[in-house]
């Protein structure tokens, strides 16, 4: 498949044949597996303190004539913590046992649990190739909610990687026909629920993904544009190409990135 090469002023600079990675067929289930595997690695482990609910000094005796025992009082035989006593009478509360108030949990979450999901190397590479092919499918990109121009998909000229100012990046994207997309991703919503107080107050939309050949000036200049991400071609993954396991992200490839992809045979 051939794509046109555009410069910063939307002028045609010829055509370029895409490498074999973009010929992969569409596998949404495989892409979802790869995204879930990446998300599971980033998942934070959690668990209860192993001593939680077991820090009380309590003893349990089921013998008939044992002092401080629970036999003969018409009560359940569970561990109890004595709070006060008078003679042979005690005021005690349940403790230690799972079914009592103040006791431990029966099956508390364990911090040593491994949440990581596995995926084979060949499957992961195939998923990345499938997600790459989905980025040049105009129908899939529109179904994902992106607002794209009629000329999409196309390749950016390598001079785009040398833009040093954020203002220049915004102007260039506007000339290429992505003004509506930048407006869509500039909207920030406040999250509903308890997540507001847990470090994720705002919800932001995913916008343009720009794939470059290596770390360049564009990586810094486009950092402050909401929704826009810049990534080297050797660092792409399914989480970037298909956020939320939804393939078809609006992706712009530079000419040098396509060249690097072809020469090094990445993800093959």
Do residues 262 and 236 lie in contact, with contact meaning Cβ atoms separated by under 8 Å? no
Residues 173 and 236 in one domain: yes
Do residues 141 and 150 lie in contact, with contact meaning Cβ atoms separated by under 8 Å? no
Asked if the structure places residue 171 within a domain, the reply is yes
91, β-bridge pairs: 84
Residues 51 and 135 in one domain: no
Q: What was the pLDDT predicted at 57?
A: 80
Asked if the structure places residue 268 within a domain, the reply is no
Asked if the structure places residue 169 within a domain, the reply is yes
Number of domains in the chain: 2
CA distance 25 to 137: 11
Q: What was the pLDDT predicted at 118?
A: 95
N- to C-terminal Cα distance for the chain?
Answer: 18
Do residues 141 and 181 lie in contact, with contact meaning Cβ atoms separated by under 8 Å? no
- pTM for the model: 0.83
Residues 37 and 110 in one domain: no
Crossing angle (nearest 10°) for helices 28-42 and 121-135: 110
CA distance 207 to 183: 10
Residues 80 and 128 in one domain: no
Residues 177 and 256 in one domain: yes
One-character DSSP codes across 204-267: E----EEEESSS-HHHHHTTTSTT-EEEEGGG--HHHHSGGG-----EEEEHHHHHHHHHTTTT
43, β-bridge pairs: none
Q: What was the pLDDT predicted at 266?
A: 92
204, β-bridge pairs: 188
**Tokens (6 digits) for 154:** 């196309």
Residues 167 and 231 in one domain: yes
Q: What was the pLDDT predicted at 77?
A: 80
Q: What is the DSSP letter of 153?
A: S
pLDDT in tens, the chain (268 residues): 888 898 888 888 888 899 999 999 999 999 999 999 999 999 999 999 988 888 888 877 778 877 777 777 788 888 888 888 887 778 888 888 888 888 888 999 999 999 999 999 999 999 999 999 999 999 999 999 999 999 999 999 988 999 999 999 999 999 999 999 999 999 999 999 999 999 999 999 999 999 999 888 999 999 999 999 999 999 999 999 999 999 999 999 999 999 999 999 999 8
**Residue that the structure tokens 């980025």 belong to:** 135
CA 215 to chain centre: 22
| Element spanning 32, H or E | helix 28-42
Residue 164's closest CA among 205, 125, 200, 216? 216
Residue 179 is part of which domain span? Answer: 2-43+118-263
């Amino acid at each position: 498949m051939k794509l046109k090469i555009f410069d910063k002023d939307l002028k045609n600079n010829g055509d370029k044949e895409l490498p074999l990675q973009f010929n992969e067929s569409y596998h949404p289930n495989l892409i979802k597996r790869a995204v879930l595997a990446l998300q599971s690695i980033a998942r934070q482990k959690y668990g209860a303190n192993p001593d939680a609910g077991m820090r009380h000094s309590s003893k349990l005796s089921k013998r008939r004539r044992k002092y401080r025992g629970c036999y003969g009082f018409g009560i359940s035989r569970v561990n109890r913590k004595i709070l006060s006593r008078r003679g042979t009478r005690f005021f005690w509360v349940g403790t230690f046992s799972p079914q009592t108030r103040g006791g431990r949990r029966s099956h508390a979450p364990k911090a040593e649990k491994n949440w990581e999901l596995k995926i084979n190397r060949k499957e992961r590479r195939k998923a990345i190739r499938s997600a790459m092919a989905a980025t040049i499918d105009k129908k899939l990109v529109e179904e994902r909610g992106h607002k794209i121009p009629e000329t999409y998909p196309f390749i950016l000229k390598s001079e785009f990687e040398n833009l040093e100012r954020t203002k220049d990046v915004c102007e260039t994207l506007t000339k290429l026909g992505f003004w509506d997309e930048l407006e869509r991703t500039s909207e920030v919503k406040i999250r509903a629920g308890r997540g507001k107080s847990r470090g994720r107050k705002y919800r932001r939309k995913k916008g343009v993904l720009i794939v470059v050949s290596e770390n360049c000036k564009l990586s810094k200049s486009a950092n402050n544009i909401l929704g826009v991400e810049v990534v080297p071609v050797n660092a792409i993954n399914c989480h970037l190409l298909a956020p939320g396991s939804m393939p078809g992200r609006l992706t712009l490839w530079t000419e040098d990135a396509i060249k690097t992809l072809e020469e090094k045979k990445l993800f093959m």
